[in-house]
Structure 1
Amino acid sequence: MDWKEGHLVKIPKKGDLSKCENYRGITLLSIPGKVFNRVLLNRMKDAVDAQLRDQQAGFRKDRSCTDQIATLRIIVEQSVEWNSSLYINFIDYEKAFDSVDRRTLWKLLRHYGVPEKIVNIIRNSYDGLQCKVVHGGQLTDAFQVRTGVRQGCLLSPFLFLLVVDWIMKTSTSEGKHGIQWTAQNQLDDLDFADDLALLSRTHEQMQMKTASVAAVSASVGLSIHKGKTKVLKFKAENSNPITLDGETLEDVESFTYLGSIIDEQGGSDADVKARIGKARVAFLQLKNIWNSKQLSTNIKVRIFNTNVKAVLLYGAETWRTTTTTIKKVQVFINSCLRKILNIHWPDTISNSLLWERTNQLPAEEEIRKRRWKWIGHTLRKSSNCITRQALTWNPEGKRKRGRPKNTLRRIIEADMKRMNYNWKELERIAQDRVGWRMLVSDLCSFTRSNRCK
């Protein structure tokens, strides 16, 4: 295969598959070309990554979806508790990777300090780029691709990050339309690649910010999808909708952000319910595995952990757990494990023996362990890291009278009280990974012994 030729494979998405927009195209490129692009990427990424905004977590080392989900959950929960208004606009671009203007892209590479020689190499690799669509085992005639970055290319995520970073840096340069984050700075947005969550305190601020982001995006070839862009409001005094180019953006009561549901109550109940539903589907799809006589129980449990439990506990580090939600998760896990072990009524087995035979931790302990493992990673980051700052952030406002709701922050602080540590002491311990693992193990052992009493 030629370096400038790609074979486009259609990946079906949701919706009517007779429509082209319900397919995602992934381009198969030549292996030597990918190796060469990896060399180019290694020469650029460290120098450029240092210039990217901390709000962007996509395709970056030591950053994850969990960081962004946890930060947004804390912002929502604390805003609800402190009666502080909050507007979140979840921006969705139309065909983002395929729409980037390449002439602007070459300028941005130079703007971020990429050497001219490397810019010319990348530009030359895009000149005369052709694709053929794979359909029914056959290849179509070649056609030229003149816009966007290549789907499937190692350089594409890096190139796209530069575009999004410049858009957000330009559209929020005034720093007046976000939420107060520190004494000196405001937080305007949380980003994961092209998944943007704009943050503001008032309707006017969000309206101005949305228009600014749309205008700057248009200058680089990107268009906001008005039908998929949603607005979530908390304690909003102004009921007027946010508009874009005269069209109203839909207000929603909940939104799935990076796979986790964020709702207007600031809780995790809806997300837990959705996770159990997705995990149940994943479990039923592997029915032949669980009924197999050839596979050992150990192999089945390993498949359960990687294909079902991973789906169930995605984002669990950020959950505002309650006795009820823990029970729902545990009941589902126990039901799956009993089916794997082929234990059906009237046969019975105690939960403790079930967990022992399948080498499982109780759900509460598993979630706590995941949460504190993530906190350890967060505390090892720079003090300027937004996710780290979120652990102790409070908005301006006043609490309501009465007993406050449980929050992720309160769950973390309750564990800290059990360990008799404050944030400063935890930051010191987190620098030693072995010491941190021992601390998490001791915390789980302590809660386990209390549960058994």
Structure 2
Amino acid sequence: MRRVNTDVVGDKPVRNDAGEMSMSEEAKQQAWFEHYKRLLNVEFEWDPGHLSDKPPLEGPPIPITIEMVKKAIAEMKTGKAPGPSGVVVEMMRAAGDSSAIMLHDLAMAIIRRGTTDAIFVVRQLHEKYLAVNERLYMAFVDLEKAFDRVPRQVIWWALRKLGVEEWIVKLVQKLGRIPMCHTGVGSNSIHCKGCKHWVHKKCSSLKHLKEDPNYRCPKCLGTARPIDGRPQKEVQVGTDKLEVVASFCYLGDMLSAAGGCVLSTITRVKTAWNKFRELMPILSSRHLSYKTRGRLYSTYVQITMLYASETWPLPKPDLRLGQNDRAMVRQICRVEPEDMASVRSSELLARLGIDDLDAILREKRLRWFGHVARSSGAINNVFNMKQAF
């Protein structure tokens, strides 16, 4: 008899929903897919028979018009208490067409502005407190788990019952697509015996990952590296203890306890590359002209990279944004690595018919400054807040 040793190569196996061990990479991805599919699709018990049939409203999106605003004002109930603005329905009706025009302009500005106002207010508060070395705590309430348990069919039925057009319903449906974890927890991680959490290699303080049933992470051992800008790990609010984190994603923008916009630029670059890879077959197609590809790139990729950039505290142009933007432009124009030294970026931008990223960012920041200077309410209050604490 001869004894032969067999080397086990690869990551640790994953147990699927059936309790079986998944050994291959495809089987492990399928196991994680089934896990997240079950996790993100747990709904409350409900009876589909109670929902009446509501046909979808097909057709192109209808723009907001002044006539629609007038109709909405006419259907509003009178005798209601005013909101924070102090404006009641009777005042809007008495103003006639001028109030409808003002409300129409306000609605269009909100659609164009999106969430940038809220991001600006949070960033201004953060930077002003950091300037005087004062602590600022912001509590974010996450209602995602509560909304995730609402039955999807009930949401679609409610939207159609309210007369929401079908293109908007389909847009909301796409927001609830099930994510697929390709390099999820367990593929490059080790399990901690103390806190029972998976710890990635870069945070495990290990040079080489190997199975260790007695492994304890640096956090359990009390040797975790302190995070810059985080004065303490938790704060007491009444009877509850809230965790203090080093960074937080707020409306798509990354906020860091240490201030600045380094995390934001890194996140936006990663998001832009994901969008660029999705559109790569179109952006590199020889059947489209350079001008068409440039418009597509500017509309879908550049706008993703510069999301909320007008609120960033940038003392000088960020090199990370410019370098990644030029790398994408070279790929669109099919510039070979050996030709990069001889082809200027300005020539490629002119070929695509787009502006330099620094010029776009400068224009966005100047336009935003004008918006802030003319604004009132929360934006004006936080912008003119005195740093006297």
TM-score (norm 2): 0.54
Q: Which amino acid aligns with 1:19?
A: L
Q: What is residue 71 of structure 1 aligned with on the other side?
A: 121
In structure 2, the partner of 1:91 is 141
Query: Whole-Å Cα distance in 2 between the matches of residues 341 and 315 of structure 1?
Result: 28
CA RMSD of aligned residues (A): 4.3
Report the Cα distance in structure 2 between the residues aligned to 1:336 and 1:360, rounded to whole angstroms: 13
Cα deviation, 1:277-297, whole Å, max 9, x if unaligned, reads 110111111121123221111
Structure with the bigger RCO (C-alpha within 8 Å, sep 6+) is 1
Q: What's the counterpart of residue 287 of structure 1?
A: 280
CA distance in 1, matches of 2:148, 2:76: 22
Q: Does 1:341 align with 2:373?
A: no
Matched, 1:316 2:309: yes
Q: Percent identity?
A: 23
Maintained 8 Å contact 1:290/1:340: yes
**Any gaps of 5 or more consecutive residues in structure 2?**
1-32, 44-50, 63-67, 87-105, 165-226
Structure 1 counterpart of 2:329, one-letter code? L
Displacement of 1:358: 2.2
Note the alpha carbon deviations across 1:296-330, whole angstroms, 9 max, x for none.
1111111111111111000110112244x621111
Q: Deviations over 1:393-426 (max 9, x none)?
A: 23333xxxxxxxxxxxxxxxxxxxxxxxxxxxxx
Mapped to 2, the partners of 1:281 and 1:239 lie a distance apart of 33
Counterpart secondary structure, 1:249: strand
Aligned residue in 1 for 2:269:
276
2:269–2:321 CA contact under 8 A, matched in 1: yes
Question: Deviations for 1:263-282, whole angstroms, at most 9, x for unmatched residues?
Answer: 10111010001100110111
Q: Distance in 1 between matches of 2:283 and 2:303?
A: 17
The aligned counterpart of 2:250 is 257
Partners of 1:249 and 1:294 in 2: CA distance: 55
Give yes or no for the alignment of 1:351 onto 2:345. Answer: yes
Give the deviation of 1:74 after TM superposition: 0.8
- Secondary structure, counterpart of 1:84 in structure 2: coil
Q: Gapped runs of 5+ residues in structure 1?
A: 1-12, 55-59, 101-130, 134-144, 157-231, 398-453
User: In 1, Cα distance between the equivalents of 2:307 and 2:42?
Assistant: 25
Partner residue of 1:18 out of 11, 15, 38: 38
Contact 1:379 1:388 in 2 (8 A): yes
Superposed, 1:177-326 pairs within 5 Å as 240-242=234-236, 248-323=241-316, 326=318
The Cα shift of 1:241 comes to 2.6
Aligned mates of 2:374, 2:81 — CA distance in 1: 18
Select the structure of larger CA radius of gyration: 2
In structure 1, distance between residues paired with 2:35 and 2:313: 32
- For 2:370, which of 363, 370, 376 is the aligned residue? 376
How far apart, CA to CA, are the structure 2 residues paired with 1:46 and 1:65? 29
User: Residue in 2 aligned with 1:328?
Assistant: 320
Aligned pairs (5 A) from 1:37-76: 41=72, 43=74, 51-52=83-84, 61=107, 62-63=109-110, 64-76=114-126
Q: Give, in whole Å, the separation in 1 of the partners of 2:233 and 2:372.
A: 37
| Matched position secondary structure for 2:140 | strand
In 1, the alpha carbon distance for the partners of 2:54 and 2:123 equals 39
Describe the shift of the 1:375–1:353 C-alpha distance in structure 2 as closer, same or farther (beyond 3 A). Answer: same
Q: Following the alignment from structure 1 to structure 2, what is the Cα–Cα distance between the partners of residues 44 and 97? A: 30
Distance change in 2, residues 1:78/1:267 (3 Å): same
Asked whether the equivalents of residues 85 and 234 of structure 1 are also in contact (C-alpha less than 8 Å), the reply is no
Q: Distance in 1 between matches of 2:320 and 2:279?
A: 21
Q: What is the total number of aligned residue pairs between the two structures?
A: 253
Aligned CA distance change for structure 1 residues 386 and 32 (closer, same or farther; 3 Å): same
The CA distance in 2 between the partners of 1:278 and 1:390, in whole Å, is 29
Q: Would the alpha carbon gap of residues 235 and 289 (structure 1) be closer, same or farther in structure 2, given more than 3 Å must change?
A: closer
**Residue deviations 1:145-204 (CA, integer Å, cap 9, x gap):** 6x9x93566689xxxxxxxxxxxxxxxxxxxxxxxxxxxxxxxxxxxxxxxxxxxxxxxx
Displacement, 1:368?
1.5
| Rounded Cα–Cα distance in structure 2 between residues aligned with 1:368 and 1:298 | 23
State the Cα distance separating 1:41 from its structure 2 match. 5.0
Shift of 1:19: 2.7
Q: How far off its partner does 1:360 sit?
A: 2.6
Structure with more of its chain in strand, by fraction: 1
Deviation at 1:84, TM superposition (A): 2.1
Q: Deviations over 1:237-273 (max 9, x none)?
A: x7653458x6643221010000000110111010001
The 5 Å alignment of 1:425-440 reads none
